[in-house]
A = this chain, B = another copy of it.
Amino acid sequence: MLIIMKPNATPQQIENVVQHIKQTGLAAHLSQGIETTLIGAIGETHDMSTETFEVLDGVDMVKRITQPFKLASRQFHPENSVFPIDGFKVGGNDIVLIAGPCSVESRSQILETAHAVREAGANALRGGVFKPRTSPYSFQGLGEQGLEHLAEAREQTGMPIVVEIMSQTQLDLMLKYVDVFQVGARNMQNFNLLRALGETRKTVLLKRGLSATIEELLMSAEYILAGGNKQVILCERGIRTFETATRNTTDINAIPVLKNLTHLPVILDPSHATGHADYVSAIARAAIAAGADGLIVEVHPDPARAVSDGKQSLKPEKFAEMVKQVKAIAEVMGRRIAPVGKPLVVGW
């Protein structure tokens, strides 16, 4: 960490900063410039806040030289992280396609959707059973019954299931069912939840918060990794800006930036990132062209009857078209859609 003193800092203020650095177990390196004095704080600083020094008298600013995250950083882990999800692999050359409804609404709805997206080329199934709804009066999910329906869908189609967890109190129940825990945008900084997931050994799909910076997303991943769970997938899902023509603004820049900063797999959610079924395919193609490792897409057999997110859900036939387009882009990028892990149950 580099501490830049004010031009008029006194020798005592400088000495005070040096003492402060030593007290925190770091080495201090003093450099007397013409305009100002610079003090380097040398050692393990990724776990320190710049504020530790910013508050000291005579300090003008503090610059971080090393990143505040470590386990998530490509500096310390140059190779891509590749890990298996129940049969196929994520983070390598293969593109993962997760698809399914926003909410599990009924047994028939999730089974119908599962078979349709599997047929179209998806390799994992999503579906919410605990729903974070802005209004306390909205449908809040089927709970455990929903998990049972998802498990049945997995058995029939061979696809692993991806389900959102909202609270660490749901952890024990969900551990019995889910293959991948999804952490939603609103919970990206629910640190208690992140810590609890770090204790598990299940893959976590971590969505970027509505107004979280890329660095904050990586810091949240660090919470999970610090617990020993190395299987974290990052997901760009649009950020909140002044533009109202779409539900969110897809931060497509985040794809190459994240691939540069971290070894973790990075996927994109074009459904939330746009909020309109009409724009999902274009943004799905863009994501793969920009270097994303996969997509998570909302698909519903009858969007007009969906209890949530119908406006941004693709009908299965539209999803199938999207998969074809994405496949063609993937090939140009020298990649392919990951195959489904387990065999399909015949005779459904």
Contact = CB atoms under 8 A, between A and B. Distances in A.
Given A34-B29, A219-B134, A213 B55 contact: no
Given A285-B289, A290-B282, A243 B214 contact: yes
A302 B85 CA distance: 46
Contacts of A249: 239, 241, 249, 251, 253
Given A34-B40, A246-B253, A332-B329, A216 B51 contact: no
B279 A257 contact: yes
Would you call the interface of chain A mostly helix, strand, loop, or mixed?
Answer: mixed
Nearest to A60: B65
Interface string A36-52: 10101010001111010
Contacts of A213: 242-245
Interface string A269-310: 000011000110011011111110000000000011010111
Interface stretch (A76-84, A118-126, A135-143, A339-347): A135-143
Number of copies: 4
B211 A192 contact: no
B55 A310 contact: yes
A98 interface: no
A329 B244 contact: no
B214 A211 contact: no
Contacts of A60: 65
B245 A257 contact: yes
A231 interface: no
A322 interface: no
A255 interface: yes
A146 B329 CA distance: 40
Nearest to A16: B304
A135 B49 contact: yes
Contacts of A199: none
B68 A135 contact: yes
Given A251-B249, A285-B290, A289-B285, A49 B328 contact: no
Contact of A309 (B51, B189, B254): B51
Contact of A246 (B33, B46, B257): B257
A267 interface: no
Listed residue (A34, A186, A194, A244) with the most chain B CB atoms within 10 angstroms of its CB: A186
A163 interface: no
A240 B212 CA distance: 9
Contacts of A279: 253, 256-257, 260
B2 A38 contact: yes
A255 B282 contact: yes
A136 B214 contact: no
A168 interface: yes
Contacts of A222: 135-136
10 contacts: A33-B40, A35-B42, A36-B65, A49-B138, A132-B191, A136-B226, A166-B190, A167-B167, A169-B169, A214-B243
Given A137-B226, A283-B290, 4 more contacts: A2-B4, A49-B135, A169-B169, A241-B241
